[in-house]
C-alpha cells in the first residue's frame, strides 16, 4: 500500500535536490492512486516545467490550484506556467498577489509574469515587496528599476540602480541602465568611473558581460558629452564582445528567402475592421515604431499591448517544427500545414485579453515584418504599419542599442556591416510584401512624421479606420507604460535630434555606405 505522505516527502526531497525526473515519477505514483492530492499535482507541475514539458505542467498546476485555491505558491507557479505556455496569465498572477505571498522568490516570479504581459505597475509592486523581504538580492532590485523605467519614474529607478551597484559592483548590466536613464552632463556623469573599471585587470572585468555593458555604457555617456570620436571605438568593442557564436549573415538571408518562397502565392486583401482588430506596427528596430505605437495608443479606442511574441510563437507551434530556434528555414518550410484560421484565433486568445473592451490594440514587435504574409492569412482584419527611417540612421541606431540578450531576432546587431546586410534583406522583403499585398501595408517615413506630424497622424488613423482624435498629437502625455528602448524618449514632444545622427560617425561610415549603395539602396549624400 502506497503511503502518500511518505512518497510526498520523498518527492519534495527530490525536488529540493533538483532531481526532477525522480520528483515527477514519485508524484505520478501517488496521483495514480490518489488523484485529488493538490500537493502532488504541484510537485508534478514544477517537475514538468523544469523538464520542459510545459503543457503537462500547466494541467498539473491548474489542478493544484483548484484543489488548494488558497496556496499562494501554487497560484504563482501556475501563473508562471501559463506565461511559459504563452497563455493568458494575468488573472492568475493577480489572484496569487491577492493571497499575500511572503516568499520573495514567488514575488519575483510574479513580477516577471506581470512584466511579460506589460503590466508594469503590478510588476513594480511585486518587485518592491520582494526587495522589502530580501533587500540584498540585487537581481530583484534591478528588475524593480526596469519596471520603474517603463513607468517613467526615472529618479526612483536611478536610486535603485545605485543601490544595485553599491551592493554588487560586478552587476554589470546596471551600469548601462544607469547611463541610459538620462542625458549625462559634463558636471554629472560616470565616464571616469567606467573608464577606470575598463582599465582594470582580472577575470571578472575581462568577461564578455563586463566588456559589453561597460563599453556600451561609456559610449552612451561620451555621446551625451559630444565626444563622438571617443565613443565609436567603445560601441564597436562593446558589441563585438557580445556577438553571438554561430551567427552568419548568410543564414540570416536564407530565412528571408524561405519566407518569400513560402508566401509566393498572391495573398488576399484585408477585410473590414472587427471588434477585435490588431494593429501591427513593424519595421527595423529603432526606426520609430514606438513613436507610432504611442501616437495610436493615445486614441481612446486603442490599447498598447507592447512587443508581443504571440504571433511568432503561434507560427512556430502550429508549424509543427521541433527545431530549437523560434524562426528558421525548417519552421518556415513546415508552415504550409498551418490552419490559418486557427492561427488567428490562437493569436487573439493570447494577445487580446490585456486590451479589455477596447476595440483595437497595437502589437509593436518590429520583426513581425518577417511574418507579414502569415499575418495577412491568419488575421485578415489586421492593420499593418511599417516604419521606414534613413538607412544610415537606422543602422547606426541598431549598433548603439543593446537589445535583449536572449532575443534571436537581434543576432545581426553586433556588427555594423551585419546590420547593413540585415537592413538590405528587410528592404527587399518589404518590397516583396508590397508586391504581394498591394495596399495592405502602410509604409510611413519617420522623417516625414517628424516634419508633418498632423498630416502623417491622419494618414495613420485613416489606415486603421479610426476617427480623428486630438490626443494623438499629444502622445507625450500618454501615461501608459513603455517597455522598449525608447521608453524615455517617447515621453517627450517630437524633435529632430535623431535625424542625421549617423553624421556624428561619418568618418567610420564608408564601408556601410558602400554596402548599402552596392545593394541599390539610396542613402543621404
pTM: 0.86
SS3 category, 281 = strand
pLDDT digits 0-9 by tens, 206-257: 999 999 999 999 999 999 999 999 999 999 999 999 999 999 999 999 999 9
Residue 7 has pLDDT above 90, yes or no: no
**pLDDT band, residue 61 (cuts 50/70/90):** very high
Per the prediction, the chain carries an average pLDDT of 91
**pLDDT band, residue 480 (cuts 50/70/90):** low
Residue 179 has pLDDT above 70, yes or no: yes
Query: What whole-number distance in Å separates Cα of residue 92 and Cα of residue 364?
Result: 25
Across 242-278, b (16+ Cβ under 10 Å) vs e yields bbeeebebeebeebbebbbebbeeebeebeebeebbb
Grid coordinates in use for 6?
511518505
Whole-angstrom CA distances from 233 to 243, 396, 417, 444 are: 15, 13, 15, 33
Whole-angstrom CA distances from 258 to 161, 248, 298, 336 are: 43, 16, 37, 12
Residue 34: what pLDDT? 84
Orientation of helix 72-84 relative to helix 38-50, angle to 10°: 30
pLDDT digits 0-9 by tens, 380-425: 999 999 999 999 999 999 999 999 766 789 999 999 999 999 999 9
Q: Selecting from 3.40.50.970, 3.40.50.11540, 3.40.50.2300, 3.40.50.300, what CATH number does the domain 250-495 have?
A: 3.40.50.300
* CB < 8 Å & 24+ apart, contacts of 151-159: 151/120, 151/121, 151/124, 151/481, 152/479, 152/481, 152/482, 152/487, 152/488, 152/491, 154/181, 154/182, 154/488, 157/181, 158/182
Instruction: Indicate the range of 305-309, 329-333, 457-461 predicted with least confidence.
Output: 305-309
CB-based contacts of 13: which residues, under 8 Å, 6+ apart? none
SS3 category, 442 = strand
Mean pLDDT score, 304-327: 92
Query: What whole-number distance in Å separates Cα of residue 305 and Cα of residue 316?
Result: 21
DSSP H stretches of helix in 168-272: 173-180, 191-199, 208-224, 228-242, 249-262
Query: What whole-number distance in Å separates Cα of residue 305 and Cα of residue 352?
Result: 8
Q: How many C-beta atoms surround the C-beta of residue 20 within 10 A?
A: 19
Residue 1: what pLDDT? 53
Residue 110 near residue 96 (C-beta atoms within 8 A): yes
CB-based contacts of 92: which residues, under 8 Å, 6+ apart? 65, 75, 78, 79, 82
Residue 169: what pLDDT? 96
Burial of 343 (0-12, 13-18, 19+ CB in 10 A): buried
Residue 10: what pLDDT? 87
Amino acid at each position: 500500500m502506497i503511503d502518500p505522505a511518505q512518497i510526498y516527502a520523498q518527492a519534495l526531497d527530490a525536488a529540493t535536490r533538483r532531481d526532477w525526473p525522480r520528483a515527477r515519477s514519485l508524484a505520478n505514483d501517488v496521483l495514480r492512486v490518489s488523484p485529488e492530492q493538490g500537493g502532488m499535482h504541484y510537485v508534478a507541475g514544477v517537475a514538468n516545467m523544469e523538464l520542459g514539458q510545459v503543457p503537462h505542467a500547466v494541467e498539473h498546476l491548474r489542478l493544484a490550484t483548484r484543489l488548494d485555491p488558497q496556496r499562494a505558491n501554487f497560484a504563482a507557479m501556475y501563473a508562471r506556467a501559463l506565461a511559459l505556455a504563452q497563455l493568458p496569465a494575468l488573472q492568475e498572477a493577480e489572484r496569487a498577489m491577492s493571497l499575500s505571498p511572503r516568499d520573495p522568490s514567488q514575488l519575483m516570479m510574479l513580477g516577471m509574469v506581470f512584466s511579460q504581459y506589460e503590466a508594469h505597475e503590478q510588476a513594480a509592486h511585486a518587485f518592491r515587496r520582494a526587495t522589502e523581504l530580501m533587500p540584498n538580492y540585487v537581481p530583484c532590485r534591478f528588475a524593480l528599476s526596469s519596471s520603474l523605467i517603463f513607468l517613467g519614474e526615472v529618479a526612483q529607478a536611478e536610486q535603485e540602480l545605485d543601490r544595485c551597484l553599491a551592493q554588487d559592483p560586478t552587476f554589470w548590466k546596471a551600469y548601462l541602465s544607469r547611463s541610459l536613464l538620462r542625458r549625462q552632463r559634463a558636471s554629472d556623469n560616470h565616464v571616469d568611473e567606467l573608464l577606470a573599471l575598463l582599465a582594470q585587470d582580472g577575470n571578472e572585468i575581462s568577461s564578455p558581460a563586463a566588456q559589453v555593458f561597460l563599453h556600451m555604457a561609456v559610449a552612451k555617456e561620451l555621446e551625451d558629452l559630444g565626444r563622438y570620436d571617443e565613443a565609436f571605438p567603445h560601441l564597436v568593442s562593446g558589441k563585438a564582445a557580445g556577438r553571438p557564436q554561430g551567427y552568419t549573415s548568410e543564414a540570416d538571408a536564407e530565412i528571408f528567402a524561405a519566407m518569400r518562397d513560402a508566401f509566393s502565392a498572391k495573398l488576399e486583401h484585408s477585410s473590414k475592421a472587427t471588434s477585435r482588430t490588431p494593429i501591427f506596427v513593424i519595421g527595423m528596430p529603432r526606426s520609430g515604431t514606438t513613436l507610432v505605437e504611442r501616437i495610436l495608443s493615445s486614441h481612446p479606442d486603442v490599447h498598447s499591448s507592447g512587443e508581443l511574441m504571440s504571433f511568432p510563437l503561434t507560427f512556430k507551434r502550429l508549424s509543427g517544427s521541433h527545431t530549437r530556434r523560434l524562426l528558421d528555414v525548417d519552421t518556415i518550410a513546415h508552415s504550409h500545414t498551418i490552419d490559418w484560421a486557427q492561427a488567428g484565433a490562437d493569436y487573439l486568445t493570447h494577445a487580446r485579453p490585456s486590451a479589455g473592451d477596447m476595440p483595437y490594440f497595437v502589437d509593436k514587435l518590429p520583426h513581425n515584418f518577417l511574418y507579414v504574409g502569415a499575418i495577412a492569412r491568419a488575421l485578415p482584419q489586421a492593420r499593418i504599419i511599417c516604419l521606414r527611417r534613413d538607412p544610415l540612421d537606422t543602422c547606426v541606431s541598431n549598433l548603439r542599442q543593446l537589445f535583449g540578450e536572449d532575443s534571436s531576432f537581434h543576432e545581426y546587431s553586433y556588427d555594423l556591416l551585419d546590420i547593413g546586410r540585415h537592413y538590405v534583406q528587410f528592404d527587399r522583403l518589404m518590397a516583396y510584401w508590397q508586391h504581394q499585398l498591394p495596399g495592405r501595408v502602410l509604409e510611413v517615413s519617420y522623417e516625414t512624421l517628424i516634419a508633418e506630424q498632423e498630416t502623417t497622424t491622419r494618414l495613420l488613423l485613416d489606415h486603421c479606420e479610426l476617427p480623428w482624435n486630438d490626443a494623438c498629437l499629444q502622445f507625450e502625455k500618454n501615461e501608459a507604460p513603455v517597455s522598449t528602448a525608447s521608453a524615455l524618449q517617447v515621453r517627450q514632444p517630437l524633435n529632430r535630434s535623431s535625424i542625421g545622427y549617423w553624421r556624428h560617425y561619418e568618418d567610420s561610415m564608408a564601408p556601410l555606405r558602400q554596402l548599402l549603395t552596392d545593394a541599390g539602396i539610396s542613402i543621404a549624400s
